[in-house]
Structure formats: C-alpha cells, structure tokens
Structure 1
C-alpha cells in the first residue's frame, strides 16, 4: 500500500464565480499533501489570463507552492484528460453543480465524463471555499473488494494531512446476503442471527485492514466500523449525509461488461446526488 497516494494535483480552471474558491481549495490541498499543483485552463494563453491566475495564487506562491499553469484549447473533456496524463496528475479536482431551487448537488455532464474516463483519483467538490472549512469526519467504503485496502489506507493518509478527528468505515451489505425470507417470528430471529454474524465477519475483515496501516496514521483518529444493509452506493451516500460527513471516500469503479461499462450502479447513485465532497480513489 502506498503511503503517499498523491504527488501531483490538477484542477480545471475557468473564469466562473467559483474561480478563486476552487484555486484556494486546490492550493491548500497541494500544500497539505506536499504535492505539485497543475492549473488546467481550456483555452488559448494570454498575458491577462496568466496574470489573473497568478494574482489569486500569490498568497500560496509566497509560501512556496509548486505550481504550473497549462493553457490548451480544445474540447474540455479531452484537454483535461490528456493534460492529466501528460503531467502525471494523480488527483484531479472537479466542481459539482447545485440543482436549481434545491440544496442538492450533482456531477455535471463534463465532470461526469471526466470522472468516468480518468485514470487518476477524482475529488468532487460541492461547496469550494476561499476560507478553509475544517474537515472533521471522513466516511470511507469498506466493502469486500481488492481495491478497498488501498482506499482505506488513502483515507487515513488524507485524514492525517487534513487533521481529521474521525474516520468511519462503512461496510455495505446487500439484503441478498441474508438469504433468509422473513415470514414469521422464527425466521425473523434467524434473520437477526445471520445479520449479527455478517456484521462480526465484516468488522473482523475491516479490523485486519486497519491493523495493516502504520500506527502513526491511525493513533490520533477515532475509528468506527459501521456495517449497513441496503443498496450499494445509495446506502453509504445516505449514511454520509445523515452522519454529516465532510468527505466521502470511495473505490474507483471496476470496468463492467458492455451494457454497464459507464459505471457500476453504486457509484452512479452517488454521482446523481452528492451527499458531500466525494473522493474516488483510483
């Protein structure tokens, strides 16, 4: 497991109302993670544009931010993806959109296409802020999957870099795993026994993963293991919202067969209605 999952952070920048907040978020993270920062602007280079970006970056440049600004015209999705590969970006920051008249956020079409195609980790921000808002609680998936060990290790790396107080590891369990139909008191008792056995099994599996992470990464953080029964993706997103998590960390999706090649449905639930900021670990 890599102890430093991110070496270069990238962010697409446009002259939108959130420009300053987006750059501040990216620059802060770059300094906290001790990485290089790459600003990607889809468009031709000009002295005026460069001056505006550098003016926003000035407080961070004064504190030794390692930053590069890339200007490249073309299709936004293609430009951002190609630049991410060329610059070896391993964490790409994308902004989410708020639905009109609703306090709900979702991934817009361009960001969604980038998220589906990117070969690096993705951070989806729903409310970027110029002033730092302290991240106190991270929820991370603990499902049984080959990628989960690295995702949980990355979650503790992020938690330490951001000074997070609490990490909750959520093991989503589908109702299919119960394999008991409840139609009377006896079957209800049996279903509850099976549930408890599954919870104990899942908690033991997650505990083994945590024990494999260096102690200095876990010792100052309150760790909770939370098995939940329900539909994958929807359940953890709902839990993150109810638990008022500041960040939800998920495995990257596995490539599926032709009919489901865009995204497994668990991630799709989250992209449709973001419960909080979401980090997808590649």
Structure 2
C-alpha cells in the first residue's frame, strides 16, 4: 500500500518520536534531569570502580561527571585512583573535545602586547597578564632562563585584579619603552608603587580600549584568570594553559631544553 505524503510525514514523526524517547530512556534518571535542564550529553564511557563517566556540555563548556553502578547517584568532582593518579584529568584529556583556537590565535597575533626575550626567537609564547597578578609574576620569573636560550614572550596586558591594575597597564603601554616598563613592574613586584594619577582611562581612552579588547580575547580563549598562556606546538596546533605552569611543563611548552631554575620562590611549582 502506498502512503500519501501526509501519512508518510505522520509515520516519520511517530518513528522519530519513538526513537528520541528510546534514546532519552537510555540515560539514568540523574543524567536525564540534567538533560531536561538544557545540558547536552556528548559522550559516555566506562570509568573506574564500575562507574560510568559522562561528558556533559552547556554553552560550549564541558564537564565530566560519573554515575554509580546502580545508575541512581551522580558524582561530580575529582576522581583519584588508588595509585594517586588524577583519573578525572586523564578522562578529560581523553574524552573532552579539544577546541580549535585558530581564529582566536590570528586575533591574538594582532593584539596589543609587550614583547620580551629573544629578538630572533626559537619559540614564542603569548601570555595574558595583569600587572598585579602574583602568578603572572611567578611565570615571568620561571621563563627568564628560557628567554636566555631563545624564547620570546609576548605579554598581553589586561587589567581587572585591583584598582591599580588599569593605571599600571596604561603606564606600561604609554611608555616610550613598554618592555622596560613591564620589566620594572616585575622586578619591583610586591613593593607598593602606585602609578601617577594621570594614567586614567579618560586620559588615555585608546589604550583603555585596547586593554578591554585584550580582556575580551582572553575570555574567547576560555581563560578565567591570569596568567593565560597560548602557544603553537610543532604541528602548528594552538594550545592553551590556564594558570601558572609547573616547571616541568616549560620544556614542552617552549620547545626548548629544560633550564636550571633554582629560585626558592618557584620551588612549589616543580
């Protein structure tokens, strides 16, 4: 029997509706509750101790949660194996889709920045920083030995941490030698120094606008604070690191041999 177009449409909707219902029924109730609230299930996978891992996404942000073997309880948070391994991180690296920051990187190359390090660099890092950020300062200290052997760091200023962040950033960018002004800020970091009162957004509207644009770009990379480090690996893939990196990560990030760092202030980052 040949069905009319209308009958075919009704049949399709019934089949599709049944399939969708069946798919939804595959989710444990605790996961379905999240789905009903607008969360999307990207993937599920077998996890440790008989649990099931779930990669969830909402508005481009991913997270991993777990359900117990009886599917009645949802567990969110850090999962540590008996050997001490961070299983949550391992699962995230394996199952969470890696974002493509190619378009953002092109924008980053044209951003307002302060260049420090090698003039003919063997490798380049970009780093979003706030003049009052202590972890940016630690990152600066850790990268100095790498700058000595061919690294160039392109520091991208933002201003949000403290009331003095904006005038400090404006003072650097308004300087005849921004790199020297940046280095002076780092060399005297922690010592109270308020920039002259003249360095305000109203006095330097173009620079203030550039700083706002840098902050928007920082958010596009998914950074929720500083430092935010961006670089390309040997294959040309854009990679990001949110926060102060461990010293052991620096050779991989810079593509340069490991450098001796004996600054006692950096010992906790080994």
Whether TM exceeds 0.5 here: the answer is no
TM-score (norm 2): 0.30
TM-score (norm 1): 0.29
Larger radius of gyration: 2
